[in-house]
Amino acid sequence: MLTVDQAREQLLAAARRITETETLALNDALGRVLATDVVSTLAVPGFDNSAMDGYALNVADFSAPTAFRVVQRIAAGDTGSALAPGEAARIFTGAPVPEGSNAVAMQEDCNVETTTLTVNTRLQPGQHIRRRGEDVQQGAVVIQAGTRLGAAELGLLAAVGVGQVAVVRKLRVALLSTGNELVEPGSPLAPAQIYNSNRYALSALLREAGCIVDDLGIVPDQFAATRDILADAAATHDVVLSTGGVSVGEEDHVKAAVESLGALSLWKIAIKPGKPFACGRIGDADFIGLPGNPVSSFVTFIVFVRPFLAARTGRDAPEPAIRVPAGFTIERAGNRREYLRARLVDGRVVLFPNQSSGVLTSVVWADGLVIVPEAATVREGDPVDFLPLATLN
Amino acid sequence: MLTVDQAREQLLAAARRITETETLALNDALGRVLATDVVSTLAVPGFDNSAMDGYALNVADFSAPTAFRVVQRIAAGDTGSALAPGEAARIFTGAPVPEGSNAVAMQEDCNVETTTLTVNTRLQPGQHIRRRGEDVQQGAVVIQAGTRLGAAELGLLAAVGVGQVAVVRKLRVALLSTGNELVEPGSPLAPAQIYNSNRYALSALLREAGCIVDDLGIVPDQFAATRDILADAAATHDVVLSTGGVSVGEEDHVKAAVESLGALSLWKIAIKPGKPFACGRIGDADFIGLPGNPVSSFVTFIVFVRPFLAARTGRDAPEPAIRVPAGFTIERAGNRREYLRARLVDGRVVLFPNQSSGVLTSVVWADGLVIVPEAATVREGDPVDFLPLATLN
């Protein structure tokens, strides 16, 4: 039996980083992984500028307030000329302060009579002036390779004048479900059949993780069909992800099919939910087999597959757990690490009443997963690790 | 001066919920907002079934363990026939337990000699049997209208047999930037010019919020051009979002242009960063004007625009703040509510050193925003509200 940490470590060690990149315009790069460090060729801001609408001043003596003579007007996009002591320039937010400026007064604090300006407040040297390079220094690495590009990152790339970026190509993932009992939603159910829910949840999780997903549907519980589909999928994808068919039951053909085509390890991992987990290789593709229970496949995706996919694109994607007080007591957990479906209520995490791995409503209800360490006792009020599901994009 | 809460309340009260829907296959519905409650027409699971690979048993007396006779074999997807007392059925995870079953024994706990089975552990009534309706009861509302459909929701819809869902149509948003000083990344900068970063950050924020974005680029600081572009944008979009041009400076033509076409309120909101905020109407479209500073536009988008857009699609999207200990001291905040760029480090929030609204690197660095209430004093270790940026999809 592997611990969660051992299993994740082995999996990440086996993740081959893909090196193909593509160059995209900024608006097309949302959610993508930056391929190379971006170094700024310029300082941001590129010039000392006004943080306010008001007046740029050349103050001769900050201890003795005086009147200023307004000699010019500088809008954003304009440049002014140097101010002599006692001179002022009408200025707007973002406009360059002229040479000689040593403070900006907000217009709300100013009285102007024709060209004579008085300031109602005490002036501080440098006030309301944003300095060149305050945000980004020329030559600085603004975003590192391996970073997922969100809204702020795209804004910063634009701010340093970068209009196109090299990003890692998307992973191509083939998704398979196995099980004679599975029926597609929208079709009628015969006795003993169930609807295939993993297919839809995992396709969404994969897309949220930035992958191109080819959903190959349900393969029957037959060795030859399973093998043929796996071979085709492996030839055209980086990763083949399957659910069901990896337990020790006699009805599982996926194990034999993968072994006939490549190599497979069946791991027993000390995790709840989600014990059976398979990983291996078919040609140049990774194979990952998740449990068939919908909650188990969801949790094992988050705990193992998501970091594995991130590592393949060179992205660092740790579990962003936060520590919060428990709103429950567990007298002594089992010897597996448990990922319980939970919600934050008034600053404490509370558990969904039914933590069975068959109960998908628990995941819909949950804001996140409480991580209960192996054999731990948790008492109400103890700090526990909570993994918000919304942070996993 | 409006408080943040007053401004948000007024804005949400003015949000007209759009009623047009479209029907999508589950795989196309990721990230969309459910238009109507979904009621399950079936129970999930639909039948009592085995939680394990092993043997379904009809135990005559739980206090006196005995041997069982294996009389049948039930794979997932098969149905069995009733078990008499003392009989067992080979069974696999998810398969229906036959009538008469009152426990399932895991195969690891069983010894089988030809057709005689003995169980090594003490049996509990009902063990390893998942009951019909344990996950979803027939007739239950499984997902409510207004819910954003993530991976778990799509899985649950599939589990209850729903293959298509009615979702609210996407909002169409026109995005405009104003400012003579703005230049597109990739082009050279003249003196006093800066690159337009808001355009890229806001386009990404809007798309992450589920909108269709038409980026209309930079409009010059001229009244007529601004008015014409605003009129065209309003005719074909639900919302027109503009950055820059809403401060009290003389150089702002957006205010006059919106007023000439419809109605505009200029709000002074007690928020830092982000004071100038404009909202109004042009024909049937909402107009929102954000500050031009990149950090101010980012923060005001999150605090005001995102909940407004959510309300227009009927989605409830509260600020998902968590309470964590401060890793900093603020002796007495100003009279505006502050949203400081921060990170969680060892369970405490620490601040980016430069909180100027011009410093976009602060947002890239940050995991989230610390919310410091108006005029509050925060001492190291005090609990503060922290809004993780990753939870805002």
In a domain, B62, yes or no: yes
pLDDT tens per residue across span A262-300: 999 989 999 999 878 999 999 999 999 998 889 999 999
- Same-domain check for residues A158 and A258: no
* Cβ-Cβ contacts under 8 Å, B162 against chain A: 185-186
Query: A197 vs B93: CB contact, 8 Å cut-off?
Result: no
pLDDT of residue B255: 85
Q: Does A320 lie at the interface with B, CB-CB under 8 angstroms?
A: yes
Query: ipTM of this predicted complex?
Result: 0.93
* Cβ-Cβ contacts under 8 Å, A323 against chain B: 347
Nearest CB among A155, A204, A360 relative to B135 is that of: A360
| A215 → chain B, closest CA residue | B27
Nearest CB among A30, A154, A359 relative to B135 is that of: A359
Residue ranges of B 282-311 with Cβ closer than 8 A to chain A: 292-294, 298
In a domain, B317, yes or no: no
Phi-psi bin for B77: left (phi > 0), alpha (psi -120 to 50), beta?
Answer: left
Residues B383, B377, A324, CA angle at the centre, nearest 5°?
5
Q: Which of the listed residues A312, A336, A355 is the one where a domain comes to its end?
A: A312
- Same-domain check for residues A225 and A103: no
- Same-domain check for residues B191 and B230: yes
Interface residue of A70, A136, A214, A361 to substitute, partner B, most B CBs within 10 Å: A361
pLDDT of residue A392: 60
Quick one: which of A237, A225, A46 has its CA closest to A130?
A46
Q: How many residues does chain A have?
A: 393
Q: Which CATH number covers residue B227?
A: 3.40.980.10
pLDDT band at A246 (very low <50, low <70, confident <90, very high): low
Beta bridge partners of A119: A110
Given a cut of 60, whether residue A251 has pLDDT beyond it is no
Query: B356 vs A46: CB contact, 8 Å cut-off?
Result: no
In a domain, A148, yes or no: yes
pLDDT of residue A66: 80
**What span, in angstroms and rounded, lies between the C-alpha atoms of B202 and B213?**
9
Query: B215 vs A364: CB contact, 8 Å cut-off?
Result: no
pLDDT of residue A236: 98
- Same-domain check for residues B234 and B182: yes
In a domain, B80, yes or no: yes
- Same-domain check for residues A358 and A378: yes
Q: Which CATH number covers residue B78?
A: 2.170.190.11
- Same-domain check for residues B219 and B298: yes
Residue A229 Cα, gap to closest chain B Cα (Å): 21
Q: Which CATH number covers residue A29?
A: 3.90.105.10
- Same-domain check for residues B286 and B188: yes
Cα A351 to Cα A305, A369, A391, distances in angstroms: 24, 9, 19
* Cβ-Cβ contacts under 8 Å, A107 against chain B: 248-249
Query: A292 vs B162: CB contact, 8 Å cut-off?
Result: no
Given a cut of 90, whether residue A230 has pLDDT beyond it is yes
pLDDT band at A247 (very low <50, low <70, confident <90, very high): low
Residue ranges of A 330-389 with Cβ closer than 8 A to chain B: 344, 347, 354, 356-361, 363-364, 366-367, 383, 388-389
Given a cut of 90, whether residue A316 has pLDDT beyond it is no
pLDDT of residue B6: 96
In a domain, B91, yes or no: yes
Query: B94 vs A135: CB contact, 8 Å cut-off?
Result: no
pLDDT band at A393 (very low <50, low <70, confident <90, very high): low
In a domain, B32, yes or no: yes
Query: B155 vs A201: CB contact, 8 Å cut-off?
Result: yes
* Cβ-Cβ contacts under 8 Å, B389 against chain A: 150, 152
Residue B336 Cα, gap to closest chain A Cα (Å): 17
**What span, in angstroms and rounded, lies between the C-alpha atoms of B75 and A101?**
83
pLDDT band at A164 (very low <50, low <70, confident <90, very high): very high
- Same-domain check for residues A205 and A339: no
Q: Does B198 lie at the interface with A, CB-CB under 8 angstroms?
A: yes
- Same-domain check for residues A225 and A337: no
> Residue A52 carries which DSSP code?
S
Number of domains in chain B: 4
Q: Which CATH number covers residue A330?
A: 2.40.340.10
- Same-domain check for residues A187 and A288: yes
Query: B322 vs A322: CB contact, 8 Å cut-off?
Result: yes
Given a cut of 70, whether residue A98 has pLDDT beyond it is yes
Q: Which of the listed residues B75, B109, B130 is the one where a domain comes to its end?
A: B130
Its domain, for residue B330, covers 322-391
pLDDT of residue A76: 76
Quick one: which of B307, B331, B340 has its CA closest to B382?
B331
In a domain, B375, yes or no: yes
| B189 → chain A, closest CA residue | A161
Given a cut of 90, whether residue A347 has pLDDT beyond it is no
pLDDT of residue A266: 87
Whether omega before A291 lies within 30 degrees of 0, making that bond cis, reads no
Query: B192 vs A356: CB contact, 8 Å cut-off?
Result: no
pLDDT tens per residue across span A4-58: 999 999 999 999 999 999 999 999 999 999 999 999 999 999 999 999 889 999 9
Q: Which of the listed residues A293, A312, A331 is the one where a domain comes to its end?
A: A312
Quick one: which of A75, A131, A71 has its CA closest to A102?
A131
- Same-domain check for residues A228 and A100: no
- Same-domain check for residues B237 and B106: no
| B161 → chain A, closest CA residue | A185
Residues of chain B with pLDDT under 70: 245-252, 317-318, 391-393
Query: A155 vs B201: CB contact, 8 Å cut-off?
Result: yes
Q: How many residues does chain B have?
A: 393
pLDDT of residue B251: 56
In a domain, A317, yes or no: no
When the pLDDT of each residue in chain A is averaged and rounded to a whole number, the result is 92
pLDDT of residue A75: 80
**Mean pLDDT of the A215-222 span:** 83
